[in-house]
Amino acid sequence: MRAARSDAGGNSTRTSPVGPLHQLVDRLGIDTVLLAVIDPQGRLKGKEHDARTLLQRLDSGPVTPEMCGYVLGTDLDMTPLRGGEFSWEGGFGDVAVQPDFDHARVLPWEPNSAIVLARPLDGGRPHPLSPATILDEQLDQLQGLGYEVRVGIETEFVLYTGTGTDAAAAGWRGLRPVTWDNRDYALDRPGPAANYSRLLRQALAGAELPVEAVKLEGAPGQIEVTFPYGPARDACEQHVLFKHAAKAVAEQQQLAATFMAAPADGVGSGMHLHLSLWDGDRPLLVSDQDAGALSAVGEHAVAGLLDVLHQTGPMWAPYVNSYKRLRGPFAPSKLVWGWDNRSAAVRVVGHGRSLHLEVRLPGADANPYLALAAAVAAVRHGITNGLKPDEPITGDADCDEDLRVVSRHPWDAIEKFDAGRVSRELLGERVVAHLASLAWLEVDHHAARVTDAELARGFAQS
C-alpha cells in the first residue's frame, strides 16, 4: 500500500507505489524485487531478487539480465516448441532482457515486494516475438497514421472455495463456486465474494491500478472487473498485474480464481476490449455531424475488425478450451456488428465523446497484448483500405443462419491464421509463424487425451 511520510515542513504526504526502484526500496522498505517478462500466455515469468543486492549491481553500471529464451516459446505447461530458436534445435539459449528500473511498482499482495517489468531483446533491440513488442509495432503503425488508441478492459473470471492446491488434489473436479446461482448485478453477495472483492480492489489501488467497478456475473462464482480507459500499453500491463493479484488474493483467502474461458459446461468468461481512437482530445469514432452515429473512420474500424479478426483467432482464442466458450451463452458466434447489441462480435456502445467499440470475441484466457494487437491491426487494415461494414445487426445474431460464423474449432482458426494473406501482411511472417506454432502445440497436447465427456458418451454405447 502507499506509505505515509513527512516532507521538510512536517506535512504528511503520500509516497507513490510506482517510481524508480531505488526510491521504493529506500522509502517503503522493499526487500524483494520480481524481475519479470510477459510470456505468450500473458503470464509473468522471471526471477526473485534481493532488493539491496540488485541496487548494488545497478550502482556499478547498467544491468541486462538474461533468462532462457523458451519463456517466449512454450505452451501453458511450459512445453517448448519442437523446433526453431526456442527449442533444442536452437540450443535453448538465453535472451537478454532490458528492465525498466525507473518504473518499478509495489505489489501490496506480495509482502515487501516490487515488480520490474523487462523487455526481451534480440540483438539489442526489442525482441519481435515478445507480446509487448508485437503490440508496440501495431500501435506505432496506427500512430503513424495519426490515431491514438485508448483502451478499457473488462474481464470475467470464476472464483471457487478452496485453494489451487486443493483443486489440484481433487483433479480439478467438484469445485464449489463462491456463489451457487445467477447473481448477475446482485448486491446481496455471500460473505466470501464480498470480502474478496473488497480486498482485491484495495490491493490493486495500493499498486496504483484503480478499478472502475466489480460485479457478480451470471454464472455461479463468476466475477467481472472493469478498468478505466487509458493508454493501450498501460491497459495491458494493468491487466497482467490484475490477474496476478486476483490469484494471489484468492489464495490468501483460501479461494481459487481461474481465467479459463470455459471452466465448466455452460460457463463462459470473456475479456472485452473497449477501444476508441483519438487525435489529442478529439474523439475520432463519433460523427462530427451526428453525436449518435459513427464517423467514416469509425465505419472503417468496424469493417476492419470484422474482416481481420476471423483470421487472427489464435491471438484472442489461443486454446482448445477457448472455443468452447464461443459455443456458450453471451459469447458472440457471428462476425457482425451492432448498436448496443451484446450478441455481436463488435458492439458499438456509448454516447457522444464516449462512443467506442467493444470487441467481444476474446476470452478471459487471452493474452491482452496479443488480443489487442490483433484488434489494432484490424482497425488499421480497415482505415488504410477504406472498408465499409455491412448494415448493423438487430436482434439476436445467433439466430440468423445466413451470417458469417466465428471459427468453432481451434484447428480451423489456426489454419486461417497461418495461411491468411492479410494476417501475414499486417503482423509479419515471423510473428504469424511463431504464434501458429504455439497454437498447434496446444492442439497437439489434447489430441491423444481421453476426456471425461468421451468416456461418458462412449464407454457403454460404442
In the predicted model, what is the mean pLDDT of residues 163-185? 86
How far is CA 427 from its chain centroid? 18
Give the Cα separation of 377 and 277 in Å (integer): 13
Q: Residue 146 carries which side chain, given as an amino acid letter? A: G
Give the Cα separation of 194 and 178 in Å (integer): 10
**DSSP symbol at 319:** S
In the predicted model, what is the mean pLDDT of residues 148-172? 91
pLDDT at position 6 is: 35
The per-residue pLDDT for range 9-54, each reduced to its tens digit, is 444 346 789 999 999 999 998 999 999 999 999 999 999 999 999 9
pTM: 0.94
Task: State the chain's mean pLDDT as an integer.
Answer: 91
**CA 80 → CA 74, 197, 306, distances in Å?**
4, 36, 33
pLDDT at position 14 is: 61
The per-residue pLDDT for range 252-263, each reduced to its tens digit, is 999 999 999 999
* Nearest alpha-carbon partner for 261 in 315, 317, 343, 342: 317
Residue 7 pLDDT greater than 50, yes or no: no
pLDDT at position 5 is: 40
Residues 6 or more apart whose Cβ sits within 8 Å of residue 448? none
Buried-exposed string 107-139: b where 16+ CB fall within 10 A, e elsewhere: bbbbeebbbbbbbbbbeeebbebbbbbbbbbbb
The per-residue pLDDT for range 433-456, each reduced to its tens digit, is 999 999 999 999 998 889 888 888
Cβ–Cβ under 8 Å, residues 397 and 338: yes
The per-residue pLDDT for range 63-113, each reduced to its tens digit, is 889 999 999 999 999 988 888 778 888 788 899 999 999 999 999 999 999
In the predicted model, what is the mean pLDDT of residues 114-124? 95
The per-residue pLDDT for range 202-242, each reduced to its tens digit, is 999 999 999 999 999 999 999 999 999 999 999 999 999 99
